[in-house]
Amino acid sequence: MKPLSKIKIKWSPKFAYAIGLLVTDGNLSKNRRHMNFTSKDKQLAELFLMCLNLKNKIGMKSSGTVKEKKYCFIQFGDVQFYKFLESIGLTPNKSKTLGIINVPDKYFFDFLRGHFDGDGTFYSYWDPRWRSSFMFYTEFVSSSQKHILWLQQEIFKRLKILGHLTKSGNQACYQLKYAKADSFKLLPKIYCRGNKLCLSRKYLKITNALAIIGKPF
């Protein structure tokens, strides 16, 4: 008899968002039972628990050598959910080996919003080369080239925007960047459902930037 899963394994906007968070900020233990989620944002940890209907407590832990820097930490065990995650493309120690994630097309942008909230970046600035030129970029990050190329292909398939790939200054990760024109197409899709299932500080940063140029969502 198979052990029952604590988590309802059924695709939905919330479930897809949580998978996006796990792909970026989660980790599968080698014991094939436990998973954990780590984030500097308490709101993301709370959203993760809510989306999967988990009752676990949010712990705190230090990261690396900077003991003053605390991160929210959630660990839970669920054999059936672990197997499901493996079946869609997640593996232990996934950072450099991650590839395709099998997400239903209907929920791809919910997944992408979780991915963006976990490891994505949005930044804006006034370009000094042109008067009154306000620039901004939407960026996704991954240590796996195979995964970032898959993400680029999936976004292109749906929106016909290619973005451009770079490597970080320390060569530790790949960056998929979309400039202003492409971001105008991408961001409304990421936030298309009009709900609050997102990291609020990042959403506010984006809406403030779009307000500067008079193009709110």
Q: Of 98, 132, 165, which residue constitutes the final position of a domain?
A: 98
CA–CA separation, 98 vs 77, rounded Å?
21
Number of domains in the chain: 2
In a domain, 48, yes or no: yes
Which pairs count as long-range contacts for 22-26, CB under 8 Å and 24+ apart, including other chains? 22/48, 22/85, 22/90, 22/114, 23/90, 23/94, 23/98, 23/101, 23/111, 23/114, 23/115, 23/118, 24/114, 24/115, 24/117, 24/118, 24/119, 24/142, 25/118, 25/119, 26/90
In a domain, 113, yes or no: no
Same domain, 91 and 122: no
* Helix, strand, or coil (residue 52): helix
Q: Are 28 and 92 in contact (CB under 8 A)?
A: yes
Same domain, 134 and 175: yes
Res. 52 pLDDT band, cuts 50 70 90: very high
Share of the chain above pLDDT 90, in %: 71
Q: Of 36, 65, 98, which residue constitutes the final position of a domain?
A: 98
Q: pLDDT tens for residues 120-154? A: 999 998 877 766 688 899 999 999 999 999 999 99
Determine the pLDDT at residue 212: 83
Q: Of 98, 128, 155, which residue constitutes the final position of a domain?
A: 98
In a domain, 5, yes or no: no
Q: Are 19 and 111 in contact (CB under 8 A)?
A: yes
DSSP letters of 56-68? ---EEEEETTEEE
Same domain, 123 and 81: no
Same domain, 27 and 55: yes
CATH code of the domain covering residue 76: 3.10.28.10
In a domain, 27, yes or no: yes
Same domain, 92 and 132: no
CB burial class (10 A; 0-12, 13-18, 19+) of residue 159? middle
In a domain, 7, yes or no: no
Q: pLDDT tens for residues 74-124? A: 999 999 999 999 999 998 877 778 999 999 999 999 999 999 999 999 999
Determine the pLDDT at residue 68: 63
In a domain, 178, yes or no: yes
In a domain, 161, yes or no: yes
Res. 217 pLDDT band, cuts 50 70 90: low
Res. 69 pLDDT band, cuts 50 70 90: confident
Provide the residue range defining the domain that includes 74. Answer: 13-98
Helices and strands (H, E) in the chain, number of each type: 7, 8
Same domain, 129 and 66: no
Determine the pLDDT at residue 184: 93
Res. 3 pLDDT band, cuts 50 70 90: low
In a domain, 64, yes or no: yes
